[in-house]
Amino acid sequence: MSESTEQNKRGAYQVLARRYRSRSFEELVGQEAIMRTLRNAIEQERTAHAYLFCGTRGVGKTSTARIFAHELMVHGQALLGESEPSQEIVDAIFRGEDIDVVEIDGASHNGVNEARELISNAGLMPARMPFKIYIIDEVHMLSQAAFNALLKTMEEPPGHVKFILCTTEPQKVPQTIQSRCQRFDFRSISDRQIADHLGAILESEGVAYDDVVPLEIARLADGSMRDGLTLLDRVVSAATGDLDARILEEVLGLPDDTLVDAMVSAIVAGDGGAALRAGGELVGNGMSHARVLDVLAERLRRLLVAVTCDGDTDLLGVTPEAAERARDLAGGLDSAALVHMIVSCDAGARTIRSSSASRAMLDAVLVRLSLTEQFASAAGLLAEQSGKAPARMR
């Protein structure tokens, strides 16, 4: 019986995003340069008194702060000739509940009184460890008065105190604070890295899956490992068998691939009627008019990459079979035509969202895309005629 099954029976199941949260530098995905820098700083005893971790949601900022704090504690204990922190202390650090690694939510503790309390506590020596580390999450939510109160302490903190500030909006953190920190910008995690990690988790959980599942979830996660794990949890919970494209359609509301391919094929073939029928079926399945064009733009992007980059599967973020299908669908289209189609989809989707005739706009865009070659030919003819026109008519 798997660990997750036993936890479910005891009523102690933890969501994947928590159960598979990184607890070491080696486990972090997609931030290798930052991990290497922080590890070297600890080994060379060149750690700063304040750090600012910036990046979008779910890319590992808070996890990195906890790992960094734990590694600092272990290294500090070793220098003092003392044993490593007990497992109980380690678990408390990674839960954000340790007395020497203090986690503060900037959104709910954003006033000047909270900042003053932090400052007064910072003067106290750590209870068990060499350092007292303050991790302030969403630090940009602090009030200006709170930032002002922190300023002096962050400039010249006691030798045993270190600050790790985490934020998704670094532009809201005053420059006076930023200038006193070592700043690290966390990158969005690539679809391939997210997909590989999700696949490893599914194997660890003993869940059978089609290759398309982690790839599609990774694309929807948009660079956030936490979002990817949350989506995967939903899919695993809903499945009664192997994970496949069908369960993704049911649980995550993904469009029917067959209908999307049919719509693209009709557009490429110049068959406006078939494009309208495929689009109509997608709408009938509950997809909004603007969403149909968003999905179409994403599928046309596959064709663009397939044509431009010779079907590079890593760049496409799809299975080899889907990449081959994209190359076949592209047919005789060139990059210029596909760029025009994608831009038309985007413009049409934005118009639809503010239009009272959204279905008419959707149909117009689909037929317009089906006539791309005719429009291009007409534009070329007009340009040719304009070039031959008398000078006085130019």
pLDDT in tens, the chain (394 residues): 344 444 444 455 678 888 899 999 999 999 999 999 999 999 998 999 999 999 999 999 999 999 999 999 888 888 777 777 888 888 889 988 888 899 999 888 888 888 888 888 888 888 888 889 999 999 999 999 999 988 888 888 888 899 999 999 999 999 999 999 999 999 999 999 999 999 999 999 999 999 889 999 998 998 999 999 999 999 999 888 889 888 888 888 888 888 999 999 999 888 999 999 999 999 998 899 999 999 999 999 988 988 888 756 677 777 777 778 888 877 767 888 899 999 999 999 999 999 999 999 999 999 999 987 665 554 454 455 555 544 443 3
Compute the distance between CA of residue 31 and CA of residue 61 in angstroms, rounded to an integer: 10
143: CB partners within 8 A, 6+ apart? 110, 111, 112
Nearest Cα neighbor of 64 from 90, 28, 96 is 28
In this structure, the number of other CB atoms found within 10 A of the CB of residue 82 comes to: 12
**What is each CA distance from 128 to 5, 67, 86, 134, in whole angstroms?**
37, 18, 11, 15
Tokens 């999307």 found at? 260
Judging by DSSP bridges, how do beta strands 101-105 and 132-137 pair with one another? parallel
| CATH entry, 191-252, from 2.60.40.640, 1.10.630.10, 3.10.50.40, 1.10.8.60 | 1.10.8.60
130: CB partners within 8 A, 6+ apart? 72, 73, 76, 77, 79, 80, 160
Compute the distance between CA of residue 5 and CA of residue 9 in angstroms, rounded to an integer: 6
In this structure, the number of other CB atoms found within 10 A of the CB of residue 238 comes to: 13
Q: What angle do CA 190, 254, 284 make, to 5 degrees?
A: 155
Q: Taking the CA of residue 113 as centre, how many other CA atoms within 13 Å lie in the half-sphere pointing to its CB?
A: 1
Scanning the chain, the segments in alpha helix (DSSP H) are: 3-10, 16-19, 32-43, 61-79, 87-95, 112-122, 144-155, 175-178, 191-205, 212-221, 225-238, 245-252, 257-269, 272-284, 289-308, 313-316, 320-330, 335-352, 358-370, 372-388
Tokens 């799809």 found at? 318
Tokens 């006033």 found at? 111
Architecture of the 31-185 domain? 3-Layer(aba) Sandwich (3.40)
What's residue 246's pLDDT? 87
In the chain, which residues fall in CATH 1.20.272.10?
Answer: 257-380
Query: Do 140 and 104 contact (CB within 8 A), yes or no?
Result: no
Judging by DSSP bridges, how do beta strands 182-185 and 50-54 pair with one another? parallel
Which CATH code fits 257-380?
A: 1.20.272.10
In the chain, which residues fall in CATH 3.40.50.300?
Answer: 31-185
